[in-house]
Structure 1
Amino acid sequence: MTATNQADLVVPQHEVQRLLGRCLLRLQQYEHLLKVMISARSISGTWESLTRAMVVERPKADVKTLGQLVGLLMGGYIFREEVTGRENHKDDDDGETGFHLQLGVNVPDDAYDALAADFRELVRLRNTLVHHFIEQHDLATVDGCLRAQEVLALSYSEIDRRYDQLSTLAREMGEAKQRVAELIQSPQFFELLVNGIGPDGEVHWHIAGIVGALRQAIQELSIDGWANLDAAVRWVTEHQPEQTPQKYGCVRWRHVVHESRQFELRRFSHNGQLAAWVRERQPAVPP
């Protein structure tokens, strides 16, 4: 190749490099947005960590490939219309009141299939640009460079279209998350999460704060699984004074035990004194 021909290649090759770099930068923006969405699609923790969990959007999928990220989004945020199940979440048995919220959107089958096809095509395009582009184009000729420029221009348009598509999904997720945040920060949600009292005043006894407090008292004071009720009440009054029967529409602690159906109450004689004793209700033994 003559020096003149080599000089003629400089500008076309630099343009190919510029266009390829533009495509790869847009793909990186796409992948970053995917990671943020995947990190934000579910929120878990305790009441104490709730505010931070709603704000922080630190990507948790840095080591995932684009194909894996797409799979996480389609399987963990975008669902077919008839699907009602979500990811299972295992509660930590640490005695704290916890929560697990998951955002998601159901779409008709045809829209779901179209999105899945778009995602697959983008993954294929990304892999082609990253791994096979110079194999497919003769960048040692001006004509080869010009054809490569045409392909890269079309590729960027396609990547940009998909980025706009993903941005729309991300914006909708952000709006949904904002609505959830507003709900979570309301006194009604606090009452439900921490005390088990719904907005309509109904007490959900299995998650009621007073039930949890009584369970803790029994664990602290247990003798063969049973705790003296008066002693348990004193323990709750000392450690969680906000948990009172009146808060849950009850007059006395015995009323709480009866209404919650979470405990057994019996009278025993211990050290010569007859008193009421309480323990967590035992599961029924199958015949």
Structure 2
Amino acid sequence: MTPPISCSGRIAFPADDLARIGREHRGLVALRNTLVHHFLEEHDLRTEDGCLLARQALTAAINRVARAHADLQTCAADMEQARSTMAEYLASPEFHDWIVHERVPWPVTTIAQALVDAASELAPGGWTSVETALSWFLTRDPGERPDDYGCRSWRQVIHESGLFDLQVRKVDGRPRAWYGPRIPRFW
């Protein structure tokens, strides 16, 4: 029997953005309360000048609400795009192979991306010592381990992923592993 799969998601904002969004929404609530409870007190609708000021206040309120609505629509569209992308991936042959045949989808794994990042920072466009890359990576994400992906070593991850070329070079008379991101070939 196949074990059940659970998936969850969350929206995370940087602290500054979250504070700004909170201020904007508290401001909208205050605007609503002012319009509902104090608008008639603040605007004399019995005079032409009072009506013009009331109209300006309502126009400003409508514009403010419209901007907030547009922001929410953008957020909703982004969430729909994320949902659609996830649904597309869940329907892909790669996902099927991962779940049914336990084939790791290497291009989307944290460990493969970390190896790409290490290679691009330590030796852009060239070869990177596996040992140096691992030291670099383990300071950034020590919890990532090859056995989480069914591999016994980092060299096996590099080999199994198919995303890198692997070489053994002599350094100070000792064999050392080096890797480089594989360049797609179109012939």
Task: Tell me the TM-score normalized by structure 1.
Answer: 0.35
Within 5 A, what are the aligned runs for 1:250-269?
250-269=151-170
User: Is the 1:264–1:279 contact (alpha carbons within 8 Å) kept by the matching residues of 2?
Assistant: yes
* AA in 1 matched with 2:56: L
CA 238–15 in structure 1, closer or farther in 2 if over 3 Å, else same? closer
In 2: Cα distance, 1:279 partner to 1:207 partner:
18
**1:23 — aligned with what?**
55
What are the ranges of 5 or more consecutive residues in structure 2 without an aligned counterpart? 1-44, 84-98
**1:215 — aligned with what?**
116
Matching residue within 40, 51, 65 for 1:33: 65
* AA in 2 matched with 1:239: R
Percent identity of equivalent pairs: 25
Which protein shows a greater Rg?
1
How big is each residue's C-alpha offset from its partner over 1:215-236, in whole Å with a ceiling of 9 and x where there is no partner? 3332454397111223322332
In 2: Cα distance, 1:42 partner to 1:244 partner:
38
Matching residue within 125, 132, 135 for 1:231: 132
How big is each residue's C-alpha offset from its partner over 1:89-132, in whole Å with a ceiling of 9 and x where there is no partner? xxxxxxxxxxxx71469xxxxxxxxxxxxxxxxxxxxxxxxxxx
User: Is the 1:41–1:104 contact (alpha carbons within 8 Å) kept by the matching residues of 2?
Assistant: no
**1:244 — aligned with what?**
145
Aligned-residue RMSD, C-alpha: 3.7
User: Is the 1:226–1:279 contact (alpha carbons within 8 Å) kept by the matching residues of 2?
Assistant: yes
In 2: Cα distance, 1:259 partner to 1:33 partner:
53
Q: For residue 265 of structure 1, report the CA deviation from its aligned partner.
A: 1.3
Pair 1:102-2:78 in alignment: yes
CA 34–250 in structure 1, closer or farther in 2 if over 3 Å, else same? farther
CA 224–275 in structure 1, closer or farther in 2 if over 3 Å, else same? farther
How big is each residue's C-alpha offset from its partner over 1:106-159, in whole Å with a ceiling of 9 and x where there is no partner? xxxxxxxxxxxxxxxxxxxxxxxxxxxxxxxxxxxxxxxxxxxxxxxxxxxxxx
CA 235–209 in structure 1, closer or farther in 2 if over 3 Å, else same? same
In 2: Cα distance, 1:249 partner to 1:261 partner:
15
Task: Tell me the TM-score normalized by structure 2.
Answer: 0.50
Q: For residue 209 of structure 1, report the CA deviation from its aligned partner.
A: 2.1
In 2: Cα distance, 1:277 partner to 1:103 partner:
40
In 2: Cα distance, 1:254 partner to 1:209 partner:
16
In 2: Cα distance, 1:14 partner to 1:217 partner:
72
In 2: Cα distance, 1:28 partner to 1:271 partner:
73
Total equivalences in the alignment: 126
User: Is the 1:245–1:253 contact (alpha carbons within 8 Å) kept by the matching residues of 2?
Assistant: yes
* AA in 2 matched with 1:233: L
